Structure 1
């Protein structure tokens, strides 16, 4: 099977952000969402003293990236893992810190372009949507087993779907007659559930439902909530963390994680802030950067990207307890 087309998003900007941390011999970047390896390939080309640890939960992506990056030999280490396992991966590699961590979140080009993976609403396919198709619930199993209230919550929270409850109720009614197995039936149900005036704007009305199901199937927000502090803990002084998000909830979690480390933890009335209360990160981006109109014209999948980056400026400190509890309950209750 030929490799799917792969156009890395914000490629030059990403390399420019990580390169200053990768200029010394033995420097290491963790590409926590390796995919087809486009960003890693550019980093290895432009940062000759660096090596990359490429992590991906999708074994098919790892297979493709091994072929693509074979010319770099031992400068790339491939690891089948979920990106919240960064600490364990580094321990297995005998490393106590690295010089950079990159996240390119969301679904990859390969996953979108291979119909049988079930990520796309544009073609009829099995309702799978697992990034690691060797384990976990499929989208079909979610549709066929979750109560209506839970389905509505997923569609509302993860897909920002205005008609979440209406769609959820119709799913539950339809599955009583026949379980869901393929995407085309779901697309038609969503289209019928949404008022005609709404269907005429905003593209395919099933887009939000498919996004929500994908996030639920892969537990993406819970994983990211654990992965961001793990990435910050992993980088040494001068190391950089770069995050590319494609969903407002992902970007919000990234903004919050960076904010915890870019403000002082000292009481506001202290005349001098002790070293242990100084920020450990400084932001490298002003807000969230977006793709240029020119890049979006070349690669429409770049349109929703939001990029944030930060650099570690001091050794670590105990992290404050998050004020934003996990939306699904206690840590560790999500699936991978």
Structure 2
């Protein structure tokens, strides 16, 4: 089974912070190659609910389901629905949630998935099998929306040039392959030797938008807070600054008392719903980075759930929405 060889980035550190105990119930919110699930199942009597929106990952995990003798349940769904998935499985609370956010190396290495400019393939980028593709976005979005997406989600300072080039190119012919888009971006974004490929940030932006990754992460964090029992642990590994900022801000906001001050004593204090286990993010060591360059950008944050009620949700988000962008302009 391919997943048997999969070792997640910061895998040992993630399991150390999750601290699975015998007989515990855990959620592997981004099952992928099954690395976290296998490590959790090595602890006697543990049970795991594995979630992935990628059907290929679910199918790849069937062998582990068989070998776990009923202790692993796989669910094809978005990890933002983890609380609802646990409820549907008959569980009010779990002992831990672990998630590895973003695209997997397995997805990047499949040309047909359209995630990578290194491999020519259809401009798809969807982790699941539903919704608009990246080709749909570049064909439909207005120049202004494209510029905003590429700037805010890709942190590309040449976003306006890239958006202008995409709109000009699509008037001549539909942009349907990864190579076509990469070539368009490379014509307006210059890079020096040993720098990242000029299309890296644009591809990141489109992938995040198509999969609604930031919305998914934020909702998943709220879901984890709801489903974790007192003493339950949350472990999140992220791979770029946008994701890490969301995790950091969420945990910091929920790990401190808020809602009142000496100037407004009548406002009720909100007890913290988490206690931080990582004051600063855990990063990969030199040996892991040498073996897997992707680990260089990984950051792990962890917290333990208190007995306090979950905090109220905040629906305001500053990033572009896929539904808005697909309206065109």
Give the TM-score normalised by the residue count of structure 1.
Answer: 0.90
Assess, with a 3 A threshold, how the Cα gap between structure 1 residues 327 and 31 changes in structure 2: closer, same or farther: same
The runs of 4+ residues in structure 1 deviating greater than 4 Å are 1-5, 328-335
Deviation at 1:260, TM superposition (A): 2.1
- Answering whether residue 210 of structure 2 is matched by residue 217 of structure 1, we say yes
Decide whether the 8 Å contact of 2:113 with 2:125 is kept in 1.
yes
1:129-144 mapped onto 2 (5 Å cutoff): 129-132=125-128, 134-144=129-139
State whether structure 2 residue 199 is matched by structure 1 residue 203: no
Tell me, in whole angstroms, the C-alpha distance in 2 between the residues paired with 1:5 and 1:114. Answer: 17
d(CA) in 2 for partners of 1:328 and 1:303? 25
Equivalent residues in 2 for 1:68-217 (5 A)?
Answer: 68-132=64-128, 134-195=129-190, 198-200=191-193, 202-217=195-210
| Structure 2 unaligned residues grouped into runs of 5+ | none
**Deviation string, structure 1 residues 54-99 (Cα, Å, up to 9, x no partner):** 0000111110122245311211000011011112101111111101
| CA RMSD, Structure 1 to Structure 2 (Å) | 2.5
| Cα deviation code 1:142-191 (max 9, x no counterpart) | 11111111111111011100100101100000001100111111111111
Q: Which moved more, 1:54-63 or 1:109-118?
A: 109-118
Shift of 1:334: 9.1
Structure 1 pair 120–171 and aligned structure 2 pair: CA distance change class (3 A): same
Q: How does 1:292-303 map to 2 (within 5 A)?
A: 292-303=285-296
How many pairs are equivalent?
324
Shift of 1:286: 2.1
Segments of 5+ residues of structure 1 without an aligned counterpart are none
For the residues of structure 2 that align with 1:207 and 1:226, how far apart are their CA atoms? 26
Aligned-partner Cα distance in 2 for 1:329–1:2: 35
> Residues 102-154 of structure 1, C-alpha deviation per residue, up to 9 Å, x if partnerless?
1100101221111110111111111010000x211111111111111111111
Contact 2:150 2:205 in 1 (8 A): yes
Q: How many angstroms apart in 2 are the aligned matches of 1:334 and 1:52?
A: 37
| Counterpart position of 1:10 | 10
Aligned partners of 2:2 and 2:247: how far apart in 1?
A: 35
**1:191/1:199 contact within 8 Å kept:** no
For 1:42, the equivalent position in structure 2 comes to 39
What SS does the corresponding residue of 2:82 show, helix, strand or coil? helix
- How high is the TM-score relative to the length of structure 2? 0.91
Question: Which whole-Å CA distance do the structure 1 matches of 2:22 and 2:2 have between them?
Answer: 37
Residue 317 of structure 2, aligned match among 307, 326, 333? 326
Name 2:273's counterpart in structure 1: 280
**8 A Cα contact 1:236 1:315, kept in partner:** no
Note closer, same or farther for the CA distance 1:176–1:75 as it changes in structure 2 (3 Å cut): same
The CA deviation string for residues 289-321 of structure 1, in whole angstroms up to 9 with x for no partner, is 11111110011111111110000122324x145
